[in-house]
Amino acid sequence: MTSSARTRRIIIAAAAVAAAPAVAGCGSSGGTGSTGAGSENPAMVGAYSPRIDPANFVSHVNNPYLPYKPGTTWRYRGVMKNGRTPQTDTVVVTDRRRRVMGVDCVVVRDTVSSRGKPVERTFDWYAQDRQGNVWYMGEETQELRHGRWGKMIDSGPAGLNGAQPGVIMEGAPKVGDFYWQFHWPGHALDKGKVLRLGAPVNVPYRSFSHALLTQEQSPLEPGVRDWKWSVPGLGYVKEKAHRGSREQIRLVSVTRPAA
């Protein structure tokens, strides 16, 4: 599930850059290591430039909290920022691949609709390193105008025009981990923080007692905080604005490919 769409969508799996302890295998010019809850990782301050080694990546994305197996479809339902306009999200793991910074990425299509009509779709590019971290390598976001899909300005692969890749899901999340999720000055600067392991969550699809709860925020939108719940073996099940918005979206159904 997945943000240039992040300026409107609440499903944010957008381009990311992380410097949590688990990403040491890829490196960062800003340093690594979590400093604990309520404090900021040194890599969050100043320049950030992760070193991406294609040899450190695998061909699949099977992180328990983000299992992107081709053919899987998630359907979500909720409301947009005003809390009244209905929104649905259909997220499909395609069998397409995209090479970004020398890394072979899984392509995930996210289509947003409102009142039965598609509004926006995004092709997100993900890759998993050998430590189990899932990196967000960029996106192409398309907006429906006059019946045709057109590319939006805030789209593109990591490694170009100052956009940096990064981790959207850690291989071994720990409470207090605080890291970049996206770093593209002037476009998107998203940070993530692990709030809780084993969190309960209730969505139309099912109730769970063991979700990973994370918070997402951006200095470009200082008054906004989004909370996201992820379930092992399933992925994202809920996202809700904790502050600054009334947007939320919850998992309704999952369709898995035949074994």
Q: Residue 211 falls within a domain, yes or no?
A: no
pLDDT surpasses 80 at 147: no
Q: Residue 85 falls within a domain, yes or no?
A: yes
**Given this model, what pLDDT does residue 228 score?**
95
**Residue 3, beta-bridge partner list:** none
Q: Could you tell me which residue, 88 or 40, shows the higher pLDDT?
A: 88
Those residues with Cβ within 8 angstroms of residue 42's Cβ, 6 or more apart along the chain or in another chain: 30, 31, 33, 35
CA angle 1, 156, 195 (to 5 degrees): 40
- Best-predicted range by mean pLDDT (14-18, 89-93, 186-190): 89-93
Nearest-CA neighbor of 167 among 17, 51, 31? 17
Q: Residue 132 falls within a domain, yes or no?
A: yes
Number of structural domains in the chain:
1
Report, as an integer, the average pLDDT of 184-192: 80
Span 62-78, pLDDT tens digits:
999 999 999 999 999 99
pLDDT surpasses 70 at 230: yes
* Ramachandran angles phi, psi of 54, nearest 5°: -55, -30
Report, as an integer, the average pLDDT of 246-250: 86
pLDDT surpasses 90 at 157: no
Euclidean distance between CA atoms 59 and 125, whole angstroms: 13
- Domain range for 47 is 4-190
Q: Residue 259 falls within a domain, yes or no?
A: no
Those residues with Cβ within 8 angstroms of residue 200's Cβ, 6 or more apart along the chain or in another chain: 207, 208, 209, 211
**pTM higher than 0.85:** no
